[in-house]
Structure 1
Amino acid sequence: MPQVRRCKYKGCHALVELPAICCDKHKAYEAEYKANREYYSRSYYNKRVRNETEAKRERYSFYKSKMWTSLRKVCLDRDNYLCQYCLAVGIITPNAKTGDHVTPVEIAPELRTDPNNVVAACKRCDNVKRTLEQEIYGTGQGREIKNIKLRLSVADWSRLIFERKNKNENNFSFKNTPRPLGE
């Protein structure tokens, strides 16, 4: 028995044999459907955004390389999988699995393979630091790079990260949060 699926045209429930996407009635829609799938697919993102320029293509391929995989592993082992940003302010956060460049690769590509520029980071610190990097250095998609001479240490980043975390926590409102039963 051949494999079948439903026609992808909205509201049509006719069965079609694979690899067809639409029934005979909606064949004209098939090309549009494929184009939309390509546009929103990861491969489109990789072609148009991630690999948009030669520098971005090189940076992306670096993070898929054996060089980065082994460097990350060496640095995580060196740091005993403890977040170095948390540790700098006296907090022990185990199981930090992100290898983070202290100075972003976009700012200092020459430091991308330097083990002294890679530290273990927990997810929360990594996310806050990425936001700070975008503000300080202008890193990220569609931004203009700035402050390329600025080099911050782990202690500097740690202070900035925890200032931001505390600011975010102080802005949290309990007004709309559910209360425990009995209150």
Structure 2
Amino acid sequence: MKKFGIKEVVAAGIGTALFVVLTEVQIPLGFIPNTSLQVRAALLTFLSAVYGPLVGGIVGFAGHALGDAFFYGSVWWSWVFPDAVFGIIVGLFAKKFAIKEGGFEGGKIALFNGVQVIANAIAWIVLAPVLDIVMNAEPAKKVFVQGIFAWLGNVIIIAILGTLLAVGYTKIGAKSSSLEKED
């Protein structure tokens, strides 16, 4: 397994800060309470896909927890943990996506979106509703509906913005990284 170096520390720190800021950038789904389209899902997916599961888990966990605390005054842990799990799952496939190496195209884009759909399903259709029921005594019907719409919203946002971020990075950023080890 790859070591957790300075690039990963920087990515986790900056990623967490951006995730927190993007907490307020959302489009509410008015017909489903406390559920919205969130741009931060694309950022989490991108960082996980580039830097791996540890960065994905840190950004998902710390970014969501801090975003909840800063903007809502309390942390909804039953939705923090699924973001961390999502980041870890996507990050496990980072090498296969080849975003850093400049090879993110064709089948790798399809793999990226297949992985994000499945990881989102695990996080939002299974984990978040179950944790809501266990931790918060929320009604099952309500939280499973929220989970399905959170899943659908994330899948759409990530398929568009997450894919664009990854394609842009693989074409531009991967070839000209500014973080170089000095002699």
- The question of a shared fold, defined as TM-score above 0.5 by the shorter chain, is answered with no
Structure 1 or 2: more helix by fraction: 2
Tell me the TM-score normalised to structure 2 length. Answer: 0.32
Structure 1 or 2: more strand by fraction: 1
Tell me the TM-score normalised to structure 1 length. Answer: 0.32
Q: Of the two structures, which has the highest relative contact order with CA contacts closer than 8 Å and spacing of 6 or more? A: 2
